[in-house]
């Protein structure tokens, strides 16, 4: 990054970013929703819908998966934790209707019930000190999920990694005022702008922005594909298309990171020496660690680590280096 660049973020955003990277705080979850999946047939049914292999999703385990169209495009991006008698699933609010529609269409005779937990709060504590500090308030599970007492209230504790340095999601009944107040007093809130910087550094695509209705899981890069998709499991909706992409060995486009010395905006067209229509910027911000960063869906000619591209911005052309996600290798 050029030494002449002045940090273009507010002091409170920089402080919040430092808190998230050096300690921990309450990560914003207002764009997420929780779904409880219960019933004796929940694992078998979900195994036939999810892109990942959930056969080993026993008590205390966690995983991640996508729900896809028959043509392979993503309907919903989900994180899942297994408790004794149910699964808890977090997903973007914008993908909730698609998820519930799949349940309504495909649960026929199975014992499967999906319930939106709008009577609970999802409080996410993220950062390198999250385990230590949350562990002082409640008995954390040795696995990825369990219930525990927070004061006099039973809560679900779910291991999560929403900003790249690990943390926990705490699922609390909305009327458990004392437990919620305890968490809010103990952990400072992370500014939304700081959270946006962190999720982009960590290579977490945003549904409805980086993930559009035409995107398929392998087009979101190797790190995403490895976490959300299994190519060694049985049949699920969209499997035929994804397996064909896997056997071919590549997609036609990939979600990639960008680093530049100058600012650029979402929607900026990306040009490459071998292709003038190389892609379009889907996310952009300023990182105190890396400078101006962003992401774009790039065609194959430009989608390689270390390539250079030109972005059309409001202030003129901007040169940017292409990075495979995650942009910042945190762990």
Question: Are the CB atoms for 141 and 134 separated by under 8 Å?
Answer: no
Q: Mind listing the pLDDT tens digit for each residue in 25-74?
A: 999 999 999 999 999 999 999 999 999 999 999 999 999 999 999 999 99
Lowest-pLDDT choice from 2-16, 156-170, 207-221, 293-307: 2-16
For every residue of 156-182, DSSP letters joined together read EEEEE-SSSS-EEEEEEETT-HHHHHH
Peptide bond just before 217 cis, omega within 30 deg:
no
Which residues face 124 on adjacent strands?
Answer: 27, 169
Average pLDDT of span 103-123: 97
Which residues face 126 on adjacent strands?
Answer: 25, 167
Residue 102 has pLDDT above 60, yes or no: yes
Domains of the chain by start residue, with CATH: 12-196 (3.30.1360.120)
How many Cβ atoms sit within 10 Å of the Cβ of residue 7? Answer: 12
**Residue burial 19-50, b: 16+ Cβ < 10 Å; e: rest:** bbbeebbbbbbeebbbbbbebeebbebbbebb
Distant-in-sequence, close-in-space partners of 151: CB < 8 Å, separation ≥ 6: 178, 179, 182
Displacement of CA 210 from its chain's centroid (Å): 11
**Is residue 97 classed exposed, middle or buried when 0-12, 13-18 and 19+ CB atoms within 10 A define those classes?**
exposed
- Identify how many contiguous H helices and E strands the chain contains and give both numbers: 8, 16
Helix axes 192-201, 11-22, angle to 10 degrees: 50
Residues composing the chain:
331
Question: Are the CB atoms for 145 and 60 separated by under 8 Å?
Answer: yes
Average pLDDT of span 302-314: 96
What is the DSSP code (8-state) at residue 286?
A: E
Question: Are the CB atoms for 242 and 72 separated by under 8 Å?
Answer: yes
- Compute the distance between CA of residue 122 and CA of residue 16 in angstroms, rounded to an integer: 20
Question: Are the CB atoms for 322 and 304 separated by under 8 Å?
Answer: yes
* Confidence grade of residue 251 (pLDDT, cut at 50, 70, 90): confident
* Confidence grade of residue 2 (pLDDT, cut at 50, 70, 90): very low
Dihedral through CA 188, CA 15, CA 210, CA 104, nearest 10? 0
Residue 5 has pLDDT above 70, yes or no: no
Dihedral through CA 207, CA 224, CA 191, CA 168, nearest 10? 110
- Compute the distance between CA of residue 104 and CA of residue 223 in angstroms, rounded to an integer: 31
- Nearest in space to 45 (alpha carbons), one of 234, 227, 226: 234
pLDDT at 7: 58
- Nearest in space to 280 (alpha carbons), one of 210, 207, 199: 210
Residue 8 has pLDDT above 90, yes or no: no
For every residue of 69-128, DSSP letters joined together read -TTS-EEEEEEEEE-SS-EEEEEEGGGHHHHHHHHHHH-SSS--EEEE-TTEEEEEEEST
**pTM (2 decimals)?**
0.94
């Amino acid at each position: 990054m050029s030494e002449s660049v002045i940090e273009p973020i507010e002091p409170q955003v920089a402080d919040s970013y430092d808190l998230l990277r050096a300690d921990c705080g309450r990560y914003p979850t207002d764009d997420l929703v929780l779904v409880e999946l219960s019933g004796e047939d929940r694992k078998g049914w979900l195994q036939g819908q999810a892109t990942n292999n959930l056969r080993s999703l026993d008590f205390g385990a966690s995983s991640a998966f996508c729900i896809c169209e028959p043509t392979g495009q993503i309907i919903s991006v989900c994180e899942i934790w297994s408790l004794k008698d149910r699964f808890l699933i977090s997903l973007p609010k914008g993908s909730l209707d698609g998820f519930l529609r799949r349940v309504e269409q495909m649960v026929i005779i199975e014992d499967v019930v999906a319930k939106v937990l709008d009577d609970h709060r999802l409080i996410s504590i993220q950062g390198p000190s999250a385990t230590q500090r949350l562990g002082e308030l409640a008995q954390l599970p040795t696995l990825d999920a369990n219930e525990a007492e927070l004061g006099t209230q039973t809560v679900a504790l779910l291991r999560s990694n929403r900003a790249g340095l690990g943390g926990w999601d705490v699922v609390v009944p909305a009327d458990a005022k004392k437990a919620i107040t305890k968490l809010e007093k103990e952990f400072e809130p992370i500014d939304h702008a700081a959270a946006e910087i962190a999720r982009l550094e960590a290579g977490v695509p945003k549904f409805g922005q980086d993930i559009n209705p035409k995107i398929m899981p392998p087009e979101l890069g190797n790190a995403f594909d490895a976490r959300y998709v299994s190519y060694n499991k049985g049949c699920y909706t969209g499997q035929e298309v994804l397996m064909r992409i896997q056997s071919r060995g590549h997609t036609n486009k990939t979600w990639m990171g960008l680093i530049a010395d100058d600012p650029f905006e979402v929607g900026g067209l990306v040009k490459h020496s071998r292709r003038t229509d190389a892609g379009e910027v889907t996310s952009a911000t300023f990182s105190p660690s890396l400078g101006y960063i962003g992401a774009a869906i790039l065609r194959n000619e430009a989608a390689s680590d270390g390539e250079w591209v030109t972005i059309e911005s409001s202030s003129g052309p901007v040169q940017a280096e292409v990075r495979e996600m995650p942009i910042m290798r945190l762990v």
